[in-house]
Chain A
Amino acid sequence: MFHWLEKNPFFFAVGVFLVIAFAGVIEILPSFAEASRPVVGLKPYTVLELAGKNIYKNENCITCHSQLIRPFKSETDRYGQVSLSGEYAYDRPFLWGSRRIGPDLHRVGNYRSTDWHENHMMDPKSVVPQSIMPAYPYMFTKMADIDTAYAEALTVKKVFATPYDAPNGTKLGTLEESRAAALEEAKVIAADMKNKEVKDAVARGEIPQIVALIAYLNRLK
């Protein structure tokens, strides 16, 4: 049998494939069924938060920041309660990261405020003198993509039955409704900010990236 395989590339390929695929099936599938249920009380992201999460995703914040607090005392002391699987139920993609060049952010909303983030994103060294994080001043002038965030929320609602517009859930509604809702949320955040341009933009009805990002970071609790 073995010798025959060596000479028959097609069946050989099938053999290789079965070996590597079967491992995946047994390793992944059972955990799969378990891990996807949300913890009690978890609400889907609002459109503004989702727009902020997309900035986090597109800028690859995960290259330096993890969102996974491991069950060690040193980690819970530093970052807060251990991360639970169900807390990530609405994260597509997951944003755990793999390297902490900067600190973990899974519960950053508990101990950092809007104005802290505002100063820090504009110039990290002004808040943490030894910081090596790059500044992101362009987030104060570029506008957040609310429409894409709405499209994403609508997609997960349709395809994965994420509970938008459900009782006690997050309201989504139509594109116009969610634009208006995002602006309301943005106004609350902008009220805590100092930057003139940002305030003006929100007053005009536009939402700079920084506002969306802060909405997302504040939600991480």
Chain B
Amino acid sequence: MQSNAALEYDYSVAKLFTYATILFGILGMSVGVLIAAQLAFPELNYLFGEYGTFSRLRPVHTNTVIFGFMISGIWATYYYLSQRVLKVSMAESKFLMFIGKLHFWLYFVGALAAVVSLLLGISASKEYAEFEWPIDIVIVLVWVLWGISMFGLIGIRREKSLYISMWYFIATFLGVAMLYLFNNMEVPTYFVSGGIGSIMNSVSMYSGTNDALVQWWYGHNAVAFVFTVPIIAMNYYFLPKESGQAIYSYKLSLLSFWGLMFVYLWAGSHHLIYSTVPDWMQTMGSIFSVILILPSWGSAINMLLTMKGEWNQLTENPIIKLLVLGSTFYMLSTIEGPIQSIKSVNAIAHFTDWIPGHVHDGVLGWVGFMTFAGLLHMAPRMFKREIHSKKLIELQFWLQTTGIVLYFTAMWIAGITQGMMWRAVDEYGNLMYSFIDTVAALHPYWVIRTLAGVLYLSGVFIFAYNMIKTMTSSKELAQEPKNQSPMAA
């Protein structure tokens, strides 16, 4: 159709983000394993002087994984698949190409600065929003660049209808923008006081309980828009493409999109009880929220049903394995979440290890697996070489799956144990355990959790090795593979 016969998709930005994903993945998860080990073996706090304590490193872990590994994973896959579903190459617009590269470099420099600032002990102490105001400004700029890049590409698309993955990317863009901006409203003290003290310090626009409200509105929904929405976008592209099966029901995917949008910020509520509203209305509210949840669960079912009649691929293709098991973990953690928000369960679970446990079966299983699968699928197409080794993917898969199962079982038991110990009373109604008893009781689970982390991390290293080998020394491909990604045994 287009006169230019040599026109090809341009993956240069996608490649850059792929490298960043691998780098931040290794960095963030290594720190994760270290801080897990610090809980079991506190001596490890003193490896790097003041820069190595649990309190400094924990935000480094969360932020490197969320804003390093995950966000670059999202952008790597975005820059890859957006061109393909819109059927337009970035090479067709010099402007977009420039924006794309600027987007990457500004992001990369910002991310490094962010890590350094946390290590130096500069923190706003709002979880997942620890960065102080100068870094927040860089993040906003990076986000705007992504917006320009995305809507620019949509503007010159050949395919009129937006594929479902693009819907999810647009929602990610808008959702995170709104949440991040409102939660990070800060007043730099240096300027208001007329140049006194540290330039990095700022105070939150909101105080006390209000700040908590905004923070957890952000905290909960940022999980939605970073860890759920864009991952679904990936899955809706990579699973059909890798398996050669169209989405089981495209209609269901549209519905579950709106279902998710409505539910996540709306009915996924923890406050269904309004004292002054009549009882029957409250009941009705609850019933309708349940009805609202149904379509949003459609996503996971839709993904699994896409494999209908082709389940043999699950044994033959390790990438499909990652994708399908990822979807299964998604179902697991989306059922676990609502259970934890039931009042009586929350009374035990809150402040315990069950909460990080829940987060991790989502992120390790669903988010991690999807990202690895996506990058593995992209590699032969971006680098025009077959994947270095199928065996290594299999090994990675089994190591990490074992790791995840160990991780969440250890954390479930640890969480419930500690929650029960905190409230245990003797026959006279006195507390049975001192606080430190409940900490000492967790030691074995923390050891298991560290081990689980080591298993998962070694999977990441294998993945990185496999990717690097694929990029540099694997057999070259004459033409782009249609569906299943070619891989050497």
Contacts and interface: CB of A to CB of B under 8 A. Distances in A.
A and B: bona fide binding partners = yes
Interface of A: 6-7, 9, 12-13, 16-17, 19-21, 23-24, 27-28, 31-32, 35-36, 54, 56-64, 66, 70, 72, 74-75, 77-78, 85-103, 128, 130-136, 138, 145, 147-152, 154-156, 158-160, 175
Nearest to A103: B435
B193 interface: yes
A221 to B, nearest CB: 16
Given A16-B171, A20-B171, A60-B123, 18 more contacts: A23-B265, A31-B209, A59-B53, A60-B130, A62-B127, A72-B347, A77-B430, A85-B209, A91-B211, A92-B208, A94-B207, A134-B38, A138-B50, A148-B196, A151-B193, A152-B193, A155-B193, A156-B203
Interface of B: 38-39, 42, 45-46, 49-50, 53-56, 58-59, 121-127, 130, 151, 154, 160-162, 166-167, 170-171, 174-175, 178, 182, 187, 189-190, 192-193, 196-198, 201, 203-215, 217, 221, 254, 258, 261-262, 264-266, 269, 271, 347, 350-353, 355-356, 422-425, 430-431, 435-436, 439-440
Contacts of A23: 265-266
Contact of B213 (A28, A149, A154): A28
Contacts of A101: 39, 439
Given A74-B431, A156-B203, A92 B211 contact: yes
Given A35-B208, A92-B207, A134-B46, A159 B160 contact: no
Nearest to B166: A9
B208 A91 contact: yes
B55 A60 contact: yes
B198 A148 contact: yes
B251 to A, nearest CB: 11
Nearest to B177: A17
Contacts of A128: 436
A154 B192 contact: yes
B213 to A, nearest CB: 6
B442 to A, nearest CB: 9
A56 B192 CA distance: 23
A57 B198 CA distance: 14
A69 B271 CA distance: 19
Q: Could you tell me the dominant secondary structure of chain B's interface residues?
A: helix
B55 A59 contact: yes
B196 A150 contact: yes
Given A7-B161, A134-B42, A35 B213 contact: yes
B249 to A, nearest CB: 16
B124 A57 contact: yes
A28 B182 CA distance: 12
B431 A78 contact: yes
A150 B124 contact: no
A19 B56 contact: no
Contacts of A17: 174, 178
Nearest to A134: B45
A152 B190 CA distance: 8
A13 B174 contact: yes
B435 A78 contact: yes
Contacts of B192: 151, 154-155, 158-159
Contact of B211 (A93, A133, A156): A93
Nearest to B183: A93
B161 A6 contact: yes
A131 B436 contact: yes
Contacts of B162: 6-7, 9, 12
24 contacts: A6-B161, A7-B162, A12-B170, A13-B170, A20-B264, A27-B217, A28-B213, A32-B210, A63-B55, A66-B351, A70-B350, A74-B425, A74-B431, A78-B435, A85-B208, A89-B208, A93-B203, A100-B352, A130-B439, A134-B38, A134-B42, A134-B53, A147-B196, A160-B207
